[in-house]
Chains A and B, each alone.
Chain A
Amino acid sequence: MLRDRGRKDIIDALAVHEIDFHSDWHSRHPVHAEYLDEMGWDDGVQRVIEEEAQGIRDVEEILGQRPIAYCKPGGSWGPQVAYGMALMGLPVFCDAPFEFAPGQPMWFCNQLFIGYHASFDRYFEVEDRLTRMKADFRQLCDRIGHGTLVMYTHPVRLFTRKFADNYRYGKNTPRSEWVPAPMRSAAQIEALIRDFDAFVGYVVGEGVEVIDYQQLYEQYEERRKWIDQTPLFQLAEKIQLELNSQIVDGTSYSPAEIFGMVVFALAWHQRTGSLPQAIPIRRLIGPTGSPKFDDSQEPVGVDALLNRIGQVDEGLTEHHRVPSSVVLEPRAISPGSFLKAAAHILGAIAANKELPDQLPLDANWHVPKIVERSDFTEMRFDWSIFYPGFEGKRVIEMAKLQAWTAKPALKGSG
């Protein structure tokens, strides 16, 4: 629109800033979560790419820079959006629905997730605005500590008293019937600009390091492609204690990545009789289908598991994801139980111990531990733009399955 309206002055003013991507159509229905709730994984990722690729291209062409971050529109998202954006070269997900800890980003679906922590918006109607903003900012600094604080606003709200209602509650109001948002008074606008400008000056004066998403990503980017045997054995030992992300030598690994490495090493051993010296870190995603497996604790035969390991490894290479279940005739077991048993076998091989005939299965090892956190257990969709009654249950289920990809982002771990 800026280009079409001939606002080159604005495009020039934006040139000194990083410009990211906020979706092509924002609130137009069906929004991401609405259509993803009716879809599976692969068709969902495909639709995200089809609907958003042109918008990313438009930003690059008009603003002269390729976006590095995707900021979700309002409360609408789905794990397929994160994965699709990563595939399209946007490695950062801002305004993320969760992060590892306040101000500490998390890897999820191969994107760096960081949330919003503060806003200008909440001070629009506040008296003694500047004083409050400064005091709240100091408190937030203490809470975030050495992390990254993200402060957002909607530029449009500098002029408007509220958002427009054209897409609220599932409406797709035709453009000819759009109703503009009500405006603020000139005095109000002037006061807001004055206070916010002073606040920016205050922040700079406090010596806070202001960065952009590109700089954030460079701090956390993971460049490591392989690991050696020693960290692999440590990961195999740790994952038997808890199905969750693990940290070894200052690098974090998701359960999906550990699954891939353990399976790769065992498949290699089955083929060659020795363990590989270097193990690739495959950035696998979690299961994408509803799990269907036998959750009994009946032991599993070690030979049966090892005879199957080559096919499991090929499946990972072909589908880039942890399987929903692993079939060990006559039963199917959960990928979590399979990983625990496989890690145990790997540990025994590494220690030159005799392999048992059978291994017990842990029936509780279905999903990574992180899904017990409140940001997963209480995940819901409550944006006023959604269709009335929208719950997004299928999106939430898919997000929980992708907990296999969750791990803390660590600086300089690449």
Chain B
Amino acid sequence: MQLIFSFDTEEYETPGIDDTVKIWADMLAKLWMPWCILHRWRKGARVARPRTQRYHRRTRCPRN
């Protein structure tokens, strides 16, 4: 089975509402992490979200 997370953003002028988009974007960024970073996240480590490059979670872990 495949899964797509599909989020409908709408703008309602409610103060502070923009931040909800960022919270979800950061939460779901984990989906595109390489396995090794994802594994560390699942173990409870705080990991940095890839800032510009989108990794698929099945891709090889980049060398540091």
Contacts and interface: CB of A to CB of B under 8 A. Distances in A.
B49 A16 contact: yes
Contacts of B7: 152-155
B31 A200 contact: yes
A210 B27 contact: no
A149 B50 contact: no
B30 A204 contact: yes
A329 interface: no
Given A10-B22, A148-B4, A203-B3, A196 B12 contact: no
A150 B21 contact: no
- How big is the B interface, by class? 35 or more
Contacts of A164: 12-14
A17 B1 contact: no
Contact of B10 (A16, A114, A156): A156
A340 B33 CA distance: 53
Contacts of A141: 1
B64 interface: no
A149 B57 contact: no
A79 B8 CA distance: 20
B6 A151 contact: yes
A196 B10 CA distance: 20
A31 interface: no
Given A13-B29, A156-B10, A210 B5 contact: yes
Contacts of B41: 201
Interface in B20-34: 20-32
B42 interface: yes
Interface string A246-281: 000000000000000000000000000000000000
Given A7-B18, A204-B42, A71 B1 contact: no
B6 A201 contact: no
B44 to A, nearest CB: 10
Contacts, number: 166
A75 to B, nearest CB: 12
Nearest to B31: A210
Interface string A14-29: 1111001010001100
A363 interface: no
B1 A155 contact: no
A13 B26 contact: yes
A388 interface: no
A16 B22 contact: no
B8 A158 contact: no
A211 interface: yes
B18 A204 contact: no
A103 B2 CA distance: 9
A216 interface: yes
A325 interface: no
Nearest to B2: A148
Given A26-B10, A160-B17, A204-B30, A16 B50 contact: yes
A27 B13 CA distance: 14
B38 to A, nearest CB: 6
A201 B54 contact: no
Contacts of A196: 27
A53 interface: no
Contacts of B25: 10, 13-14, 16-17
B6 A94 contact: yes
A153 B13 CA distance: 18
A156 B9 contact: yes
Given A22-B8, A178-B13, A210-B3, A155 B30 contact: no
10 contacts: A10-B25, A22-B10, A73-B8, A145-B1, A148-B1, A151-B6, A156-B12, A201-B30, A210-B5, A210-B31
Given A13-B29, A205-B42, 6 more contacts: A16-B54, A17-B54, A181-B14, A210-B3, A213-B6, A216-B2
